[in-house]
């Protein structure tokens, strides 16, 4: 069933759903980067480059506008995104 959902998602949007099982609430393009909003423990925006590679994700915020503002700062290099250990 999950692979069938992924296949339909890829056919209509050209993208696969997030692996975490969360639903993308909103997606926008900002400076050649895709920003996807999901709801987890709060609103989280994941930043992808033009090739679809995941670059960073924001911490959970209480409103979508706060999460998008933080993601735009990451894209503009005004702050560093979380680092992998």
Give residue 53's domain range. 21-75
d(CA 76, CA 33): 10
Number of independent structural domains in the chain: 1
pTM, rounded to two decimals: 0.64
Please report whether residue 12 resides in a domain.
Answer: no
- Residues in CB range of 71: below 8 A, 6 or more apart: 30, 35, 45, 46, 47, 56, 58
pLDDT tens profile 62-82: 999 999 999 999 888 876 655
Greater model confidence, 47 or 7: 47
Please report whether residue 7 resides in a domain.
Answer: no
Please report whether residue 54 resides in a domain.
Answer: yes
Please report whether residue 50 resides in a domain.
Answer: yes
Please report whether residue 1 resides in a domain.
Answer: no
Alpha carbon 21 to chain centroid, angstroms = 13
Please report whether residue 25 resides in a domain.
Answer: yes
Please report whether residue 26 resides in a domain.
Answer: yes
Q: Cα torsion for 73, 32, 36, 64, to the nearest 10°?
A: 40
**What is the percent of the chain with per-residue pLDDT over 90, rounded to a whole number?**
31
Question: How far is CA 26 from each of CA 29, 36, 43, 83, rounded to the nearest angstrom?
Answer: 11, 6, 11, 24
């Amino acid at each position: 069933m999950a692979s069938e959902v992924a296949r339909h998602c890829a056919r209509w949007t050209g993208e696969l759903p997030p692996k975490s099982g969360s639903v993308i609430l909103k997606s926008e393009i900002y400076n050649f980067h895709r920003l996807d909003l999901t709801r987890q423990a709060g609103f989280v925006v994941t930043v992808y480059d033009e090739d679809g590679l995941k670059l960073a994700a924001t911490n959970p915020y209480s409103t979508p506008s706060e999460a998008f503002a933080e993601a735009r700062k990451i894209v503009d290099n005004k702050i560093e995104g979380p680092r992998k250990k």
